[in-house]
Amino acid sequence: MDAMIDIQNLVKKYGNFTAVNDVSFTVPKGEVFALLGPNGCGKTTIIRVMMGLLKRTSGAIKIEGRDVEKGSVGIREKISYLPQQVVFPDTLTGKEILHFYCRLRRMKMDGIDRVFSLKGMEDFLSRPVGEYSGGMQQRLALAITLLPRSEILIMDEPTASLDPEAVYEFRQAVRELCQQGTTVILATHLLSESEGLADRVAIMRTGKIVTLKSMKEMKEEILKTFKFYISLGQMEERFEEVARKNGASEVESIDRALIISTEKPEDRLRIVNAVQAEGGLIERFGTIEPPLEEVYMKILQDREA
């Protein structure tokens, strides 16, 4: 598939400090691509260079095959950008701000009803933004970003200050847009944000991409230990020993469940069958997904070793 966004060997320096160090990745149309890492790792710098707000030191950035510095005006028309911090004039109302951005985009105001983040804010749109909470200002910023239905969304920490309901609705809105062909670049330090939205994730540290994989690949390929559980009608101590003899590296008994670690995923079914053969009444069993925090720390530790 042709790349909607193509970044090759990007370098951005501030004097002797290298903020982005030889970063390369491509993003096909309709994908959610996350730049994940701690504050100061270079995520926002990459986005600002993509938007033409900063000049690259070296490397290439192309959107739909066009260099972002040479065709900046035409490229920017395809993009909606949500910066990390959005500041609105305190004295303007939410409706006035929306009207301004609609005029800027040559859009009509009648499209705002479909923007998820404005739900429940009808009474506030006539109030000055200075009276808004941080979460309400973020919802207004998201509305402005999502309103044009742009081909590319570039968002820096988009769910900051949002309540759980708004986060859920935001994710649903982004998924729907991607199904329609929108391409998304998401910069975040929140592991749950990447897990909940991204197709692929580039984990960054000190200006470099440490690893770039799909969410599924991260969990399946990077962690060497696989955990699963077996819920039993009645727990007996001998079931732990049965599990160990059939491939379990670790076994923990919690109430009527065995929490089992194996070095090979294929050992799981053998352990389940062995416990059942020994008289265990199995009610259900399933895989325990490793939390993304565990994956993230494992990646960084492996790279530092």
**Out of 23-37, 63-77, 193-207, which region has the weakest mean confidence (pLDDT)?**
63-77
pLDDT of residue 117: 67
pLDDT value, residue 263? 80
Element (H, E) at 285: strand 282-288
| Beta carbons within 10 angstroms of residue 153's beta carbon | 23
Q: How far apart are CA 81 and CA 59, in angstroms?
A: 22
Say what the pLDDT of residue 273 is: 95
Q: What is the pLDDT of residues 142-184, one digit of tens each?
A: 988 988 888 999 999 998 888 888 888 888 888 888 999 999 9
- Residue 1 predicted with pLDDT over 60: no
Containing 15, the helix (H) or strand (E) segment is none
The answer on pLDDT for 120 being more than 80 is: no
pLDDT over 70 for what percent of the chain?
94
Q: Is the pLDDT of residue 258 over 80?
A: yes
Q: Which of 76-80, 193-197, 258-262 has the highest mean pLDDT?
A: 258-262
Instruction: Work out the angle between the directed axes of helices 134-146 and 164-179 (0-180°, nearest 10).
Output: 10
What's the pLDDT band for 251 if we cut at 50, 70, 90? very high
Judged against a pLDDT cut of 90, whether residue 277 lies above it is answered with: yes
Instruction: Give me the pLDDT at residue 96, please.
Output: 93
Q: What is the pLDDT of residue 89?
A: 94
Instruction: Find residue 254's DSSP bridge partners.
Output: 257
Q: Does residue 53 carry a pLDDT above 60?
A: yes
Three-class secondary structure assignment of 50-75 = HCCCCCCCEEEEEECCEECCCCHHHH
What does the block give as tokens for 289?
């997904």
Q: What is the pLDDT of residue 224?
A: 64
Identify residue 123 by its one-letter amino acid code.
Answer: D
**Of residues 218 and 87, more confidently modeled:** 87
* Long-range CB contacts for residues 130-138, cutoff 8 Å, separation at least 24: 130/90, 130/91, 132/94, 133/161, 134/160, 134/161, 135/161, 135/162, 135/163, 135/166, 137/86, 137/88, 137/161, 138/86, 138/162
Q: What is the pLDDT of residue 305?
A: 60
d(CA 26, CA 63): 10
CA 217/CA 232 separation, integer angstroms: 31
Residue 24 — φ and ψ, nearest 5°? -135, 135
Say how far residue 77 (Cα) sits from the centre of its chain.
24
Instruction: Indicate whether 296 pLDDT > 60.
Output: yes
User: For residue range 192-219, what is the model confidence (pLDDT) as tens digits?
Assistant: 788 888 999 999 999 999 999 998 887 7
Which of 178, 196, 164 has its CA nearest to residue 292? 196
With CA atoms as reference, report the closest residue to 32 among 163, 182, 134, 241. Answer: 182
Q: What are phi and psi of 88, to 5 degrees?
A: -110, 150
> Which pairs with CB-CB distance under 8 Å and at least 24 residues apart come from 241-250?
242/271, 242/274, 242/275, 242/278, 242/280, 243/271, 243/274, 243/275, 245/274, 246/270, 246/271, 246/274, 247/271, 249/225
With vertex at residue 140, the alpha carbon angle to CA 194 and CA 115, rounded to the nearest 5 degrees, is 75
Domains belonging to the chain, first-starting first, are 3-219 (3.40.50.300), 224-289 (3.30.70.980)
pLDDT for 48 equals 93
